[in-house]
Structure formats: structure tokens, C-alpha cells
Amino acid sequence: MCLGIPGKIVELYQQAGLRMAKIDFGGVLREACVETLPEAKVGDYAIIHAGFALNLLDEQEALETLQLLRDAGVLDEELNPSSPT
């Protein structure tokens, strides 16, 4: 639950009074709240956890971590929270 996935901010907008972003996780798009990153710009990479940005990180780190999570099979699990079966 505390893992967090790095993704690229591709769009910033306001929604219901919150600063939100569209995040690209290596091809999968998700929405996240970026109230925690007042300095974030489009093109930045951020660690997203439970639909929230925890922090910024640089592109190289972000891409490496994404690949690692994908290899470990964690990426799908985190992005598509399904119920246990």
C-alpha cells in the first residue's frame, strides 16, 4: 500500500476545487490529485500513491522504477485495484 508508482504529468487542471493531473504510467493514463505538489508542471514525474502525488522525481529514476515495477508484476496490481478472488 505504501509503494507508490512514478508517472509523468501530462495535463494539469482544477476539478471540484482540487488541483488534479492526468498521469501517464508508461502508457496507462490515470487521474491523480496534486494538491501536495504546488510546484508541479506538465512534463514532471511524480510518485503517485492512492491517487495522490507524494513527490517529484527525475525522469531517469521514474522510468527505471516503472520498468522494475512492471517486471515484478506490481504495476498492474497497483493501477487496477481489483478485488481478491
Partner 1 sequence: MDLSLLNQTLRDERQVKAEIEKIRRRLTRSWVLMEICGGQTHAIMQSGLDQLLPPEIELVHGPGCPVCVTPLELIDKALAIAARPAVIFCSFGDMLRVPGSNQDLFSLRAGGADVRVVYSPLDAVKIAQQNPERQVVFFAIGFETTAPPNAMSVLQAKALGLKNYSVLVSQVLVPPAMHAILSSPHNRVQGFLLAGHVCTVMGYQDYLPIADQYRVPMAVTGFEPLDLVRGIYSVVKMLEQNEVRVENAYARVVKPEGNLAAQAIIQKVFQPVDRNWRGIGRIPLSGWGLRPEFSEFDAELRFDVGNIQTSESPLCIAGQILQGLKKPFDCPAFADPCTPQNPLGAPMVSAEGACSAYYRFARSSASMKG
Where do contacts with partner 1 occur on this chain (CB under 8 A)? 1-4, 8, 16-18, 24, 26-27, 30, 32-33, 35-38, 47, 49-52, 54-55, 57-58, 60-61, 63-68, 70-72, 77, 79, 81-84
Q: CB of 12: closest distance to partner 1 in angstroms?
A: 15
Q: Which residue in the block uniquely carries the three cell numbers 485495484?
A: 81
Contact yes or no for 79/6 (Cβ under 8 A): no
Contact yes or no for 8/42 (Cβ under 8 A): no
Q: CB of 53: closest distance to partner 1 in angstroms?
A: 9
Complex with partner 1: residue 11 or 77, whichever CB lies closer: 77
First to last CA, the chain: 18
